[in-house]
Amino acid sequence: MSETTSHPRSPGFGIVFFLLGIVVVGGFGVGWLPEVKSAHGHGIDGVIRYLLGTTGALFFLGCIVLGYFVMKYGRGEAQSGAIVSNRTQAIWAIVPVLVMCAISEVGVLVMGLPVFAEVYGEAPDDAYEVEVVGKQFEWLVRYPGPDGVFGEVDHAKVHETRNPLGLVKSDPAAQDDIVVRGKVHIPVDRMTVVRLRALDVIHSFTVPLFRVKQDTLPGYTAYTQFTPEEVGIFELACAELCGLGHYRMQGSVIVESEESLKNWLSEQEPWL
């Protein structure tokens, strides 16, 4: 083991990192994000693109540097100047700290906060309101009816076929409530606020094309808001493991014009 040549060298290994950098950056660059169909979704996509650009560039740079080092220093030549001062090492720690703090906090604060305000801010008074309730394994959708008020519910009255949400008959506000299975009808170009509840376990209300995802917790009312930009039918899915039928907890969000929404609502019978 004393001969210099006996140590294995493989400078070509550096190519692995060049290839990795190219494949990863190229792979993400293909554009896998489905086209967004909601107002705040552009902001979310903006943050994602910003992170793809910055971290992609850094990752590519890192791959090139590592690959270059392996090729250059993998040939077995003696190297001088490997030992550097504490000061240099400290500087090369401060540089990545500053770069990463800047990149990441710009993503969260500069890019993120305006979107945050859209997603979690106060909804306008004329926002359209609808309730979606998760249960194993379907989405129950409730419309407040002509009075615009969601009536009282009592889970003791829940019956899968007779009264799936447990509407309370004695409450006048509940009497005109409309309950539909799996179909969320909402207007286009107007903010929708979805009241989210669950009857049994945790579900998650997900409309990927709207970039919407919000868990529905039993015993708790959550809200999510978004403004669809296009008329059409969009798939609704459950993102939180909720049991055997998790994968088939499919629903649809039907975005239509104000007029056809009004027509559709007027055709519906109150549940009670």
Partner 1 sequence: MAVEDHSAPTSFVKKYIFSQDHKVIGLQYILTALFMAIVGGWLAVMIRTQITWPEKAMVTPENYLSLVTMHGTIMVFFVVSLALVSGLGNFLVPLMLGARDMAYPFLNMLSYWTVVPACFLVLVSFVVEGGAAAAGWTAYPPLSALPEAVPGSGLGQTLWLLAMALFIASFTMGGLNYIATVLNCRAKGMSLMRMPLTVWTYFMSAVLGVLSFPPLTAAAIMLLLDRHGGTSFFLPSGLVFNNEVLAHEGGTPLLFQHLFWFLGHPEVYVLVLPGIGITFDLIASFARRPVFGYKTSVYALWVVGFLSMIVWGHHMYVTGMNPYVGEYFSIATVLITAPFAVLGMNLVASVWRSRIRMEVPMYWALGTVAVIGLGGFGGLFLATSISDIYFHDSFFVVGHFHLMIGVVTVLSTFGALYHWFPKMFGRVMNAGLGKLHFWLTYVPMVALFFLMHLQGMSGLLRRYYDHSIYEFQAPGRELALVITILTYAAFAAQAIFFWNFFYSMFKGVKVGANPWNATTLEWTAPSPAPHGNWPGALPVVDRHPYDYDPAAEEDSDYKPQGVVA
Q: Are 239 and 171 in contact (CB under 8 A)?
A: no
Q: What strands lie across the sheet with 192-198, from one edge to the other?
A: 178-181, 138-143, 128-135, 192-198, 222-226
Of 83-91, 143-151, 180-188, 260-268, the segment contacting partner 1 by CB under 8 A is 83-91
- In this structure, the strands spanning 138-143 and 178-181 are antiparallel
In this chain, which of 39, 48, 127, 272 binds partner 1, going by CB under 8 A?
A: 48
State yes or no: residue 199 binds partner 1 (CB under 8 A). Answer: yes
In this chain, which of 15, 22, 92, 257 binds partner 1, going by CB under 8 A?
A: 92
State yes or no: residue 122 binds partner 1 (CB under 8 A). Answer: no
DSSP annotation of 121 reads S
In this chain, which of 38, 119, 178, 185 binds partner 1, going by CB under 8 A?
A: 119
State yes or no: residue 182 binds partner 1 (CB under 8 A). Answer: no
Nearest by Cα to 50 from 114, 116, 112? 112
Residue 198 CA to residue 46 CA, distance in Å, equals 32
Size of the site for partner 1 (CB under 8 A): 109
Q: Minimum CB separation from partner 1 for residue 272, in Å?
A: 17
State yes or no: residue 74 binds partner 1 (CB under 8 A). Answer: yes
The 237-256 contact track toward partner 1, x by CB under 8 A, reads x-xxxxxxxxxx-x------
Nearest by Cα to 238 from 209, 201, 212, 203? 203
In this chain, which of 15, 22, 53, 62 binds partner 1, going by CB under 8 A?
A: 62
Q: Which residues inside 210-239 make contact with partner 1, applying CB under 8 A?
A: 211-220, 222, 235, 237, 239
Q: Which residue has the tokens 């500053």?
A: 98
Q: Which residue has the tokens 């994602």?
A: 48
Element of type H or E holding 233: strand 232-238
In this chain, which of 39, 58, 180, 265 binds partner 1, going by CB under 8 A?
A: 58
In this chain, which of 22, 120, 181, 258 binds partner 1, going by CB under 8 A?
A: 120
Tokens linked to 127: 């926002």
State yes or no: residue 78 binds partner 1 (CB under 8 A). Answer: yes
State yes or no: residue 34 binds partner 1 (CB under 8 A). Answer: yes
Tokens linked to 216: 């529905």
